[in-house]
């Protein structure tokens, strides 16, 4: 009986020890599972894409990081170039007219009411083509040769007026990346000066200077690309207007030749 009691007591003690060991391990396992869950959540949060900020805020942030010394001249070139480009586009847009309708109306007035009525219509019509017609009609009394010279001369004047300001846009296109590259070179020199003063090749020192330097380059390139697009668009509109001026000038000479034979 005593032996049975001893066996049962030993079994109870072993069971109690095993239960106590499991009870001690349970919080540790729970803590480990909690850590695993937390790490998994952190990984999922890190892999999620951050909320994107608006483009103009990002550009403003990069602009301020690049520093005012070199970014401001590039911004001035961009603003002035855009102002001239918009002014040229508005000027060329308002100068466009329906050339076929205009030529037909001038021809109708010549046949029905004569030179003075055609001159009055041209004077009240906007655009370079109407101005060329008016100058040609004014010199009809001097002969067709004088009309042709007036048309050619005044056509060159009108073309010069349409191309006014393009040289400034071209200057800003060339100046913007040049200022950006100059800022990059100066920024690189400053970065090497910082390395020399710190006497260590620290990635933080090098990266900071190079980042500021490269921001000026990208700002200059962005400004040049934007202005180049506007520049080419303006050139295409001017070329279209010049072709219309040459075509309608020939029509004017033909009309006056026919009118003189009446």
Q: How far is CA 87 from CA 90, 163, 166, 241, in A?
A: 5, 12, 11, 16
Using pLDDT thresholds of 50, 70 and 90, give the confidence band for residue 200.
low
Contacts of 87 (CB under 8 A, 6+ apart): 165
| 1-10, 20-29, 51-60: least confidently modelled range | 1-10
Mean pLDDT of 110-129: 89
Structure token digits, residue 144: 């067709």
Whether the predicted pLDDT of 54 surpasses 50: yes
Q: Which residues of 70-93 are buried (b: 16+ CB within 10 A; e: fewer)?
A: bbebbbebbebbbebbeebeeebe
Q: Which distant-in-sequence residues (6+ apart) come within 8 Å of 92 by Cβ? A: 162, 234, 237, 238, 241
pLDDT digits (tens, 9 = 90+) for 150-162: 898 898 899 899 9
pLDDT higher than 60, residue 35: no
Report the pLDDT averaged over residues 4-18.
40
Distances (CA, A) of 174 to 66, 74, 108: 20, 11, 49
Average pLDDT over residues 49-75: 62
**For 141, which DSSP code?**
G
> Who wins on pLDDT, 3 or 199?
199
Average pLDDT over residues 165-176: 93
The per-residue pLDDT for 53 is: 61
CA distances (Å), 133 to each of 165, 214, 223, in order? Answer: 25, 54, 40
Which bin fits 165, alpha (ψ -120 to 50), beta or left (φ > 0)?
A: left
């Amino acid at each position: 009986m005593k032996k049975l009691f001893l066996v049962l007591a030993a079994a109870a003690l072993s069971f109690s020890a095993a239960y106590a060991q499991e009870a001690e391990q349970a919080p540790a396992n729970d803590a480990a599972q909690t850590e695993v869950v937390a790490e998994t959540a952190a990984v999922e949060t890190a892999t999620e894409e951050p909320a994107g900020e608006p483009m103009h805020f990002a550009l403003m942030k990069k602009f301020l990081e690049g520093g005012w010394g070199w970014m401001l001249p590039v911004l001035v070139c961009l603003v002035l170039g855009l102002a001239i480009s918009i002014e040229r586009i508005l000027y060329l847009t308002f100068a466009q007219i329906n050339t076929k309708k205009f030529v037909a109306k001038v021809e109708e007035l010549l046949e029905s009411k004569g030179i003075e009525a055609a001159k009055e219509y041209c004077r009240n019509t906007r655009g370079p083509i109407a101005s060329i017609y008016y100058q040609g009609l004014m010199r009809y009394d001097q002969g067709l040769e004088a009309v042709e010279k007036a048309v050619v001369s005044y056509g060159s004047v009108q073309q010069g007026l349409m191309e006014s300001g393009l040289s400034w846009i071209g200057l800003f296109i060339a100046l913007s990346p040049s200022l950006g590259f100059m800022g990059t070179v100066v920024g690189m020199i400053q970065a090497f000066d910082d390395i020399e003063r710190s006497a260590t090749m620290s990635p933080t020192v090098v990266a900071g200077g190079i980042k500021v330097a490269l921001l000026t380059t990208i700002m200059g390139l962005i400004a040049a690309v934007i202005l180049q697009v506007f520049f080419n668009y303006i050139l295409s509109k001017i070329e279209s207007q010049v072709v219309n001026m040459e075509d309608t000038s020939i029509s004017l000479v033909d009309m006056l030749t026919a009118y003189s034979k009446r």
